[in-house]
């Protein structure tokens, strides 16, 4: 552990380095961000495959495209920032046009979490008070990053003292070429999903679980990300590329394969497994060059891709979607693993 810097109010912010074998990961208590992941290519050459900033100061600038953040209390969108729970309506401040995104304007990405070392990693804890960003109930969220061999594992746990809703995920942007080498359009992705949740013009799910078959959302076999991204498809046009939730095949609550990204150039692969029912594959469409990352690299469109394992967006307003409610006495548990490999 080292102190990486201080927030505006003088709070010291720790940063941790996890290493096992060839993989090295850094995480910070500010927003429980994943700051970097160093992984070898097929020749053993190391590169940082997660976008990130050199200095804490850049993470403090808001709004920020959530580079590596833990997002909460509700990752992804809630339509009009509004939902009803046990007959009472709650309003989350809007920060994405007419919707609330990633928990509203001051989400979990903007707090210094408590931290402690655990075997193989770090555990971060955040207590979000009753009424925080409009959400009911005091929520205690615990995010544990551990590294074993080539696998970075994130365990999420949460409890509440009043019924609430939550959707916690990690918002890392990966680029298997290395964070300073080109964009993600020539990399391939496979997503273990027969269906996805189509969206309206403001990227809120319509409620339909639509087949991916015969659409550019079909990644049941590995496909190059850029191959169909500019197709004349209404959904792709709305999002400016991929920015949808796929309905994962596999039993919810048990570990199942979500996605595999592979880079034909470096040979690096990234395999994502999760207990979550969905994954948001976001191709970095809204990165506009206004943030500069490590090595002085401007984060422009498609510079990195996000694989946000999650419950479906706007679930509190879709009773047919898997529930995001948490009640007092219950514990929410969820696990996602990212495995960094190579192919010949
Ligand atoms: C969303 C994008 C949004 C991005 C913010 C992603 O999770 O799906 O629409 O622009 O977060 O960085």
Alpha helices in 35-129 (DSSP H): 56-60
- Check whether 252 has a pLDDT greater than 90: no
Question: For tokens 């269906």, what's the residue?
Answer: 195
Which whole number is the average pLDDT over 91-110?
98
pTM flag (> 0.95)? yes
Fold of 2-342: Beta-galactosidase; Chain A, domain 5 (2.70.98)
pLDDT tens, residue by residue, 59-87: 999 999 999 999 999 999 999 999 999 99
Q: Which two tokens stand for residue 105?
A: 């304007």
| Interval between CA 282 and ligand 1 midpoint (Å) | 7
Any ligand 1 atom below 6 A from CB of 62? no
What ranges do the domains of the chain cover?
A: 2-342
Nearest CA to ligand 1 atom 8: 243
pLDDT band (50, 70, 90) for residue 344: confident
Alpha-carbon separation of residue 117 from 22, 102, 143, 172, 286 (angstroms): 20, 27, 12, 21, 35
282 CA: nearest ligand 1 atom: 8
Which whole number is the average pLDDT over 29-37?
98
pLDDT tens, residue by residue, 273-288: 999 999 999 999 999 9
Which strand (E) or helix (H) includes residue 56? helix 56-60
Which whole number is the average pLDDT over 228-237?
98
| Interval between CA 318 and ligand 1 midpoint (Å) | 20
> From the CA atom positions of the chain, what is the Rg in Å?
19
Q: Which two tokens stand for residue 69?
A: 């953040």
Instruction: Return d(Cα 32, Cα 68) in angstroms, integer.
Output: 8
| Interval between CA 120 and ligand 1 midpoint (Å) | 30
Instruction: Return d(Cα 315, Cα 329) in angstroms, integer.
Output: 21
- Check whether 182 has a pLDDT greater than 90: yes
Nearest Cα residue to 326 out of 182, 138, 123:
138
- Check whether 253 has a pLDDT greater than 90: no
Any ligand 1 atom below 6 A from CB of 208? no
Q: What angle do CA 116, 274, 283 make, to 5 degrees?
A: 100
Contact predicate 188/222, CB 8 Å: yes
Percent of the chain with pLDDT over 70: 100
71 CA: nearest ligand 1 atom: 7
288: left (phi over 0), alpha (psi -120 to 50) or beta: alpha
């Amino acid at each position: 552990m080292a102190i990486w810097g201080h927030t505006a109010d003088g709070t010291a912010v720790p940063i941790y380095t996890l290493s096992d074998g060839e993989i090295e990961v850094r995480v910070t208590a500010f927003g429980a961000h994943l700051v970097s992941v160093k992984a070898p290519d097929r020749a053993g050459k190391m590169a940082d495959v997660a976008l990130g900033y050199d200095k804490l100061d850049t993470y403090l600038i808001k709004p920020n495209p959530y580079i590596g953040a833990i997002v909460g209390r509700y990752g992804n969108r809630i339509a009009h920032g509004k939902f009803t729970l046990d007959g009472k309506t709650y309003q989350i401040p809007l920060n994405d046009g007419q919707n609330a995104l990633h928990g509203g304007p001051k989400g979990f990405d903007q707090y210094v979490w408590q931290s402690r070392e655990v075997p193989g990693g770090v555990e971060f804890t955040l207590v979000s008070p009753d009424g925080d960003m409009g959400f009911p109930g005091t929520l205690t969220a615990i995010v544990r990053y551990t590294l074993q061999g080539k696998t970075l594992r994130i365990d999420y746990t949460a409890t509440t003292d009043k019924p609430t809703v939550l959707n916690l995920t990690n918002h890392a942007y990966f680029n298997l070429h290395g964070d300073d080498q080109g964009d993600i359009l020539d990399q391939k992705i496979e997503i273990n999903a027969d269906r996805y949740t189509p969206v309206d013009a403001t990227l809120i799910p319509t409620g339909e679980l639509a087949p991916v078959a015969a659409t550019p959302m079909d990644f049941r076999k590995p496909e190059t990300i850029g191959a169909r991204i500019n197709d004349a498809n209404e959904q792709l046009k709305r999002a400016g590329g991929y920015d949808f939730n796929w309905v994962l095949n596999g039993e919810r609550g048990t570990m199942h394969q979500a996605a595999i990204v592979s880079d034909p150039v470096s040979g690096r692969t990234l395999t994502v497994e999760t207990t979550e029912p969905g994954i948001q594959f976001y191709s970095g469409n809204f990165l506009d060059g206004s943030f500069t990352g490590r090595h002085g690299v401007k984060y422009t469109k498609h510079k990195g891709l996000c694989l946000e394992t999650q419950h479906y967006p706007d679930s509190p307003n879709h009773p047919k979607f898997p529930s995001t409610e948490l009640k007092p006495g219950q514990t929410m548990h969820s696990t996602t693993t990212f495995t960094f490999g190579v192919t010949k």
